[in-house]
Structure 1
């Protein structure tokens, strides 16, 4: 779920316990979201999520790298 100024809230029903993972811009982390104003989302054929932002351009999220950790 893209938000205006709140970044990206990601819900994966395959990860237990169910919860949202929030991705936001972190100025000291170059791998973070480039802007918290998310205006578009698209899933490609490899299940990666492309994230269009209002002021930071295009980002992507590799779903294969998301996993549950205790």
Structure 2
């Protein structure tokens, strides 16, 4: 399945990416445009992940990796 964030929000040095759904397999990082980002722990945000970045990732193919 191809995952692409359809919404994002920036808070200081963090970007929150919202997806229609997240993979069911385990993951700790994401890869977008060849760069790997560690996922910052977050709670109570359905189908969202947080990364330490100020870049925009809207509609960019995202790979979830261990």
Q: TM-score, normalised by structure 2?
A: 0.37
Q: Which has the higher strand share?
A: 2
Q: Which has the higher helix share?
A: 1
Higher relative contact order (CA 8 A, sep 6+): 2
Q: TM-score, normalised by structure 1?
A: 0.35
